[in-house]
A and B are shown apart, each in its own frame.
Chain A
Amino acid sequence: MLSPAPPSLEALRHGESPFVLADHNGLIIAINAAFQQAYGWSEEQLLGQPLSLILPEAFRMSHQLGFSRFQATESSTILAHPLRLKTICQDGSEVVSEHFIVAEKQHECWLFGATLKPLPQGTPAEA
C-alpha cells in the first residue's frame, strides 16, 4: 500500500496552523496571522530574513548546511514528517513546537513551507 501523499504547500498555507514560507535561498517570504500570534513576530520583522532567525542558535549551522545539501542533492531526511524542535519567539524565548516541512519546485525554484504548531509548555524538545 502506498503511503498517503504529504499535504501540499498550498494546503499548509491555508490551514489554521502557524505557517512560514521561504524561498530557495532560505529567506522568509510569507508568514500567516496564526504564526504572528503564536510567536509574536510581525511580517515587517521577518520578511526577507533568513529562516535561521527563528531557529535556536545551536541549530543554525546544521540548518544552513542541510539547506545547502538540499540545493546540491535535492534530497532531504527532514521533509514531510513531523519534527519536534524549538522555535525562537520575537521576545527571544524558545517554544517547543512541531514542525512539518514540505518543499515544492515552482518555476525552477524551490519553495519551502512549514507549519510550526506550539506544543504545551513543558514538552521536551526531543521526542
Chain B
Amino acid sequence: MSSYIIPVFILIIVVIALFEKKNIYSLFIEGVKTGLKTVYNIFPYIFAITIIAGLINDTGILNNIKLFNIQGDILPLMLMKPLSGGASTALVVDIFNKYGPDSFNGIFASLIMASTETTLYVISIMSSKIKIKDMKLPIICGLIGDITAIILAIIITKIII
C-alpha cells in the first residue's frame, strides 16, 4: 500500500499542472535551482550535527552512563535520536541483533524511533533559513515532547509485551 503513496502523489501533481496548462518543465527546473541553494545553505548544519553524532558514538561515552536501571543499549538511542536519524537507526539495528525486535528493548526502540523526530537536527536546519540565534524555546518544547514520548513508550511497551 505505502509504496503507492509517492508515485501517486507525483502523478497527481503533474496531472493538476497539465490541466492548468502550466509549463511543467521550466517550473521543475526553477524549483531544482532553489533546491540547490537550500542544500548549499543547510550543508554546514548537517555537517556540524553529523560530526557530533559521530563523536558521541565512537568515543562510547553513552555506554558509560546508567540511568533509572535502563539497560545500556536503550539510553544511547534516547540521546542520539534528537541528533541524527542515521546514527540512531544504526543503534536500533544493534538492539534488534542483540535482543530481537519483539523483546522489550526491541519494541521500545521501535516506538522511540517511529514516534519522535530528530528534534535538534530539525531545529538547526530550520534556523539556517532565518538568521535568528535564539532557539531556546523550540529546543525546550521539542525536547519536552521527546521526553513525553519516551515515558509513554516505556509504559506502553510494558503493557503490550
Decide whether A and B assemble into one complex. Answer: no
* Residues of chain A at the chain B interface (Cβ within 8 Å): none
